[in-house]
Amino acid sequence: MMKKPIVGITMGDAAGIGPEITSKALNDDAIYEKCSPFVFGDSAVMRQIIDMCSLNLKVNSVTDIKDCQYQPGIIDVLDYKDIDIDNLKFGVVSRNCGIAAVKYTEEAGKMALDCKIDAMVSAPLNKASMRSAGYSYEGQTEILGKLSRSKNYGMILVLDNLRIMMYSTHMSLREACNKVTYEGVLKKIALSAEGLKFFESKNPLIAVSALNPHAGEGGLFGREELDLMIPAIEKAKEMGINVVGPIPADIVFAKAKNGEYDLIIAMYHDQANIAMKLLGFGSVVTLLAGLPIIRTSTGHGTAFDIAGKNIADGTNLVKAIELAAELGAKRLEYI
């Protein structure tokens, strides 16, 4: 019998929907056929959520993953006991929840780097809570980047066979435009090619989306394409990377939907996310590329407006776990 990958799932911000979607995702027995999952989090919070959602689940609180049971109907929780359950308020920014959520991410990252787990999955943390705790990270990606001492990393949005790498993420549109450089585009193309190795595609084709309307129209609507992007794309081709572009954004995503490209590099956050969420809202998950670990996450945030109301849907987290399990299983083949 082939060994199943061990997948560690971070609970996320306790005041958000992370614990709820984690409980609902692990209520799906099929998950246990694909991997051996456990949760980095707080057992008291998980029990409270399970009761609130009337789920037929038990919590196995452990201090060492050697004591995990990995059985349907039982959620194994590596328990840090760091949430004051009596004072927990759903949907409210909390310094304590921010500290705990960062800790779960750091601990999962360390275990992944030490090969104690085969993959990690992140439920969402809240950036305001994280900032109130004194952290300046943009998100969990940057936490893991610092932890692994990686310099070139980024997120790939995954929707079935459609994949998008974001050139820039959480910043203003003005800042995102200013961030476009020859070196940056070349690095992102190389990172995308590296990230596609997860999927074992043969000679995958990368398309770079244009920054400006009509790809700048020969410099009439901006010169980033002419001066920065095209030279970087040509250099990447010299390096042996199969890449085309820049292609106008209103064209490249339609072509990708039809299977013409293996991955698109989108030049800013909303260019990527509008396209993906129109094509599959609720089904998009993210994969971190450029780090020596496998890490997936949900394509949504903490949703404070619906936290603690038993209306959050765990389907997106299920997809993130399934992708982590698939890639984790491939990793085991090479060990």
For 161-184, letters b (16+ CB in 10 Å) and e give ebbbbbbbbeeeeeebbeebeeeb
Regarding pTM above 0.75, the answer is: yes
Q: Which residue has the tokens 């800042």?
A: 175
Instruction: Give me the pLDDT at residue 160, please.
Output: 82
User: 31, 1 in Cβ contact below 8 A?
Assistant: no
The encoded tokens of residue 216 equal 């700048």
Q: How many domains does the structure of the chain reveal?
A: 2
| Same domain, yes or no: 12 and 49 | yes
137-166 tens-digit pLDDT: 877 888 888 888 888 888 899 988 889 999
| Same domain, yes or no: 10 and 142 | yes
| Same domain, yes or no: 132 and 234 | no
Averaged over 245-258, what is the pLDDT? 90
Domain that holds residue 160: 152-290
Q: Which residue has the higher pLDDT, 20 or 202?
A: 20
| Residue 334, domain CATH | 3.40.718.10
75-132 tens-digit pLDDT: 999 999 999 999 999 999 999 999 999 999 999 999 999 999 999 999 999 999 989 9
Collapsing DSSP to helix, strand or coil, 263 comes out as: strand
